[in-house]
Amino acid sequence: MAVIELGFGRQSFLPFKRKSLLLLKLIAVVFALLLFCEFLIYYLAIFQCNWPEVNTTAYDGEQATREPVLKAMFLADTHLLGEFLGHWLDKLRREWQMERAFQTALWLLQPEVVFILGDVFDEGKWSTPEAWADDVQRFQKMFRHPSHVQLKVVAGNHDIGFHYEMNTYKVERFEKVFSSERLFSWKGIK
């Protein structure tokens, strides 16, 4: 068997091998960090949360009955960026984090109702109909939920404007999408 020498020698390929191995290790570490920081961290953080044990035994004369417990999750001020403010990369990052945190919380905590307490959108008060439709579509994608979980959204000043900016069009547009109810009752709890 003949050995072909190209003038490089065997020694010169060794540093190249070391560099490629180092590069491969670096890529593996970066990939592991991204996986942890962009996906697993939400499970670790929310896994520490749990519902408190509530003693809801009521005595009705002689018999003890268990009263219903409502598992409710509250979110506020999501401020989803619109088409005017914020950089597209900032919007992408925020929405990814919100969606991952929300979906992880739904999966681990399994609430029966989720309340979003206003300021859903950052630019809702001055959105064009097209921009509003785009914002609503992004909201529905991020905050998708199983049919057995109710989602109740309350309007905020960034959604329909302050008292001096508010008008019937903005209020009706919000109520049409989120079918806001004035009174809400679930499991006998008002």
Sorted by where each begins, the domain ranges of the chain are 14-47, 70-178
Q: What is the pLDDT of residue 28?
A: 94
Q: What is the pLDDT of residue 180?
A: 66
CB 190 within 8 A of CB 184: yes
Q: What is the pLDDT of residue 6?
A: 55
- Whole-structure pTM value: 0.73
Measured distance CA(117)–CA(146) in Å, rounded? 20
Q: What is the pLDDT of residue 112?
A: 93
The three-state secondary structure class of 150 is strand
Measured distance CA(158)–CA(154) in Å, rounded? 11
Name residues of the chain where pLDDT drops below 50: none
Q: What is the pLDDT of residue 5?
A: 55
Measured distance CA(163)–CA(47) in Å, rounded? 40
Measured distance CA(151)–CA(67) in Å, rounded? 23
Q: What is the pLDDT of residue 163?
A: 79
**pLDDT tens sequence across 116-131:** 998 999 888 888 999 9
Superfamily of domain 70-178: GpdQ, catalytic alpha/beta sandwich domain (3.60.21.40)
Q: What is the pLDDT of residue 185?
A: 73
